[in-house]
Amino acid sequence: MQKLITFHSFRRGAGKSTLASNIAALIAQSGLRVVVVDMDLQEPSLHLFLGLSNQDFTLTLNDYLWRSQPILPAVVDVSVGLDVFNPGRLFLLPASDHAKDIMEALRSTVDFERLSCGMNELSDALQTDVLILDTCAGLNENTLTTIAMAHTLVEILRPLQQDYQGTGVTVEVARNLQLPSVCLVLNDTPISLDFAQARQELIDIYGFPVGEIFPHSDEFMSIASTGLFINHYPAHPITHQLREFSKRLLAE
């Protein structure tokens, strides 16, 4: 069975979609077949990171979940320009950013059986090795479902008290659900902070390993969610960090 990695944060703006898209691309570059799914049905944005506008696709995950449309036609191959190593491939299953669809997603829970069947179908048809789910922030029935399905949960937080508190709740949920692997990522960390001390504090507080600590970066901000950081800055130290982190995620 393919490995399922869920990217989640308790609070918005922690960098879920940024990290999920860049990690997905790096895994594809390494020669694996990856599907990244925009499960952030309330604030879909993954397509922007992968260089698409909402004019570039007609079907979405929403159509599959709530309008009985097939899942495969909604998948977009976004490997072009990624310099992927054969047979690597990166596919995106986008979510709709139309107001009506977002409202529909807000009032409904995802049909777990349909979602499960869809994931299995993607896995079989596209021969994927890794499935990455980019969830919405916070905890509700939908995010809990995508967390429970994960082989690895990547829980992202920033060095803010509100993030620390909320992450405590998610970590407790992950423990209750006995997830095979949980890894914390501290993102947008001021470079004045002692990273080694921050890492130890997170381990002490939450009892889970810290996958990576990413420093605050003006370059990240300057991209403004238009494309992948690893493409804009292939030689940047953060790109190197992302690459090493993606390798560790696969090894877990």
Partner 1 sequence: MSNKIYDELIREIEALPEGEGLSMSDLLEYPEHLRNLLTWMMRDRGVELEDICSYLKVEEAHANFMIGLLDKKNLIEEVKSEKEQYTVHMKLTHNYRVPKKIWQVFDP
- Integer CA distances (angstroms), 221 to 43, 187, 209, 217, 232, in order: 19, 13, 27, 7, 12
Angstrom distance (rounded) from CA 230 to CA 21: 10
Helix 16-29 with 237-251: angle, nearest 10 deg: 70
Stretch that binds partner 1, among 23-31, 44-52, 105-113, 183-191 (CB under 8 A): 105-113
240: Cβ–Cβ under 8 A, 6 or more apart, which residues? none
CB 149 within 8 A of CB 2: no
Q: Read off the tokens for 30.
A: 């390494």
234: Cβ–Cβ under 8 A, 6 or more apart, which residues? none
Residue 151 binds partner 1 (CB under 8 A): yes
Residue 144 binds partner 1 (CB under 8 A): yes
Residue 173 binds partner 1 (CB under 8 A): yes
Per CB under 8 A, the list member of 150, 202, 228, 249 interacting with partner 1 is 150
Smallest gap from Cβ 176 to partner 1, in A, equals 5
Per CB under 8 A, the list member of 86, 161, 178, 197 interacting with partner 1 is 178
Angstrom distance (rounded) from CA 21 to CA 48: 10
User: Which residue is it, tokens 């090493």?
Assistant: 244
Smallest gap from Cβ 5 to partner 1, in A, equals 12
Q: Is the peptide bond before 70 cis (omega within 30 degrees of 0)?
A: no
Q: Give the x-and-dash track for 62-101 against partner 1 (CB under 8 A).
A: -------------------------------------xx-
Phi, psi of 63 (to 5 degrees): -65, -35
Residue 145 binds partner 1 (CB under 8 A): yes
CB 183 within 8 A of CB 152: yes
Residue 152 binds partner 1 (CB under 8 A): no
What one-letter code names the amino acid at 109?
T
Smallest gap from Cβ 48 to partner 1, in A, equals 24
Residue 149 binds partner 1 (CB under 8 A): yes
Of residues 117 and 221, the one with the C-beta less far from partner 1 = 117
Per CB under 8 A, the list member of 12, 85, 117, 205 interacting with partner 1 is 117
Of residues 19 and 179, the one with the C-beta less far from partner 1 = 179
Chain contacts with partner 1 (rule: CB under 8 A): 1, 4, 99-100, 103-104, 106-109, 111-113, 116-117, 119-120, 140-142, 144-145, 148-151, 173, 176-180
